[in-house]
Structure 1
Amino acid sequence: MSVKGRQYPKAQAGAPLVVFDFDHTLYDGDSGSHLFAWLIRRSWWRRLLALLIAPVFGPMVAFLPTRRFGIRGFIWVGTVGFHRPRDLDALIDRYVALHTEQIRQRLLPQAIEVLHRHREAGDRVVVATGAPPELARAILAFVAHEDMPVVGTQVGPSLFGIGAKRHCHHAMKMTMLREAGFSDEIAVAYSDSTADLPLLLAARRAVVVNPQHRNIEIFRRRLPADTVYLNWGCAKRAGEPVT
């Protein structure tokens, strides 16, 4: 699966802009949840604190309007005692180093190959994710060059811990892409999530990858009739299997 040894042509200004979501698109699962579960499990008192806030913050995670507040609560539990974004970056590096084999197994080979083909064609490729960008970069470093642009959730100090200051999610993902310099028309967008409908609708071609079965009808109502629905290896997800 590794493409680190491959050489890519330098993307030129005006080249097609291609945007990939990360979780359930390039990575089988929710990378941020995996990270913060590990952060919480590091000590008994963090586990206890997570249990105490779960009745309030857990249901928030399940609903789009309140998801960022729910996620923020569990990020805080995992990082209380740390105050700087670089503290979280150091914890991310430690997490990735301790879970290298599990993370490699979660990267989706078909997805990485599609990403590689876009880069080989000279397209401008960016990953836009709700996870902290350092996490996505550290994971992608297994299979991609370090120059892979990543736009992700911004974090900062929050009540004796670290919290999400700007969640790269839903319409905010489009705002953060533009602010990062990716303001051209999007040629192709790949995502699994209905939260990325603003991104998919902005693209000339939307590709829905590994969607949840319950969301297929939502996509079909909102996206063009010729939208492609693919499964890149997430066994419990919908989409046409790719061989």
Structure 2
Amino acid sequence: MTERFPAQHADAPLVVFDFDHTLYDGDSGSHLIKWLIQRAWWRVLLALLAAPVAGPMVAFLPTRRAGISVFVWIGTLGVRDRAELDVLIDRYVATHVDAIKARLLPTALDVFRAHREAGDRVLVATGAPPELARAILSFVAHQDVPVIGTLLGPKLGGMGALRHCHHAMKMTMIRQAGFVQTVERAYSDSSADLPLLQAATHPVVVNPKASRVAMFRRVLPPGTPILNWGCPGRAGDTP
């Protein structure tokens, strides 16, 4: 059941949360893609053959969308449209309830809930498919929160990333969705979200990689909180 929160007014402070490694311990999109591929041995074989080329592409910002699209395409060959993909996403979530719930970060959810209780205009912007993030948030009664994510669509007999909600494109997609006011507060773990963090009046870095902490301190305003919300293996101060 959805909890009752104050209505989000258009002039309320805009608060944006990343999803992976921020509200969720791990990369939810990668977990979904892995499951999609593992549904058939021939998909696994195709992924292994593609990995030497597509794998390194995922690691670099300019080629990340193309690399991810390769694995999405392998996992979705035969899927005709987004409605059919949504059915698969629902099946994945329904068959991994316990594992998914265990990855939701309680400290992060407390902060998320506090913003909603304050009447803030809360938005999730994620590199994962929005249908996946919405389904996971439904476990904790936040399925009504707006979610902006990577848009997938038909491509060569499967599905591919049409618009990757990532780096500068994340801010573009937020604005195009009608969230045009100043971002009051933004929460993210990733250096790929620097355009979002730098656009926020009050950026908050959560669960960053240890190797990125010095960079965040250099490019974000002095005193920017760098926190760990219970994400093992990640850096940040414990609240």
Normalising by structure 1, we get a TM-score of: 0.97
CA positional deviation for 1:225: 1.1
Report the counterpart of residue 76 of structure 1 in structure 2: 73
Residues 60-111 of structure 1: per-residue CA shift (max 9 Å, x gap): 1111121111111100010011120111111000000000000000000000
CA positional deviation for 1:13: 2.1
Q: For 1:121, which of 93, 114, 118 is the aligned residue?
A: 118
Report the counterpart of residue 233 of structure 1 in structure 2: 230
Report the counterpart of residue 203 of structure 1 in structure 2: 200
- The answer on 1:222 being equivalent to 2:214 is no
CA positional deviation for 1:5: 5.6
Q: Which amino acid in the other structure matches residue 89 of structure 2?
A: I
CA positional deviation for 1:231: 0.3
C-alpha distance in 2 between matches for 1:215 and 1:83: 40
CA positional deviation for 1:201: 0.2
Residues 201-229 of structure 1: per-residue CA shift (max 9 Å, x gap): 00000000000011112111210111000
Q: Which amino acid in the other structure matches residue 141 of structure 1?
A: S
Q: For 1:150, which of 147, 151, 169 is the aligned residue?
A: 147
CA positional deviation for 1:146: 2.6
> SS of 2:62's equivalent?
helix
> SS of 2:132's equivalent?
helix
Q: For 2:127, which of 130, 136, 156 is the aligned residue?
A: 130
Q: State the aligned residue count.
A: 239
C-alpha distance in 2 between matches for 1:135 and 1:6: 20
C-alpha distance in 1 between matches for 2:141 and 2:179: 20
Deviates more, 1:126-135 or 1:8-17: 8-17
| Structure 1 segment 148-187 matched on structure 2, within 5 A | 148-187=145-184
C-alpha distance in 2 between matches for 1:38 and 1:142: 20
> SS of 1:147's equivalent?
coil
Report the counterpart of residue 89 of structure 2 in structure 1: 92
C-alpha distance in 2 between matches for 1:31 and 1:179: 24
C-alpha distance in 2 between matches for 1:62 and 1:140: 27
Normalising by structure 2, we get a TM-score of: 0.98
Identity of aligned pairs, percent?
66
Structure 2: give runs of 5+ residues left out of the alignment: none
CA positional deviation for 1:145: 3.2
Q: For 1:33, which of 27, 30, 41 is the aligned residue?
A: 30
CA positional deviation for 1:236: 0.1
Deviates more, 1:82-91 or 1:21-30: 82-91
- Whether the aligned pair in 1 keeps the contact of 2:36 and 2:75 (CA below 8 Å) is yes
- The answer on 1:16 being equivalent to 2:13 is yes
Residues 167-216 of structure 1: per-residue CA shift (max 9 Å, x gap): 00000000100111111100000000000000000000000000001111
C-alpha distance in 2 between matches for 1:219 and 1:68: 24
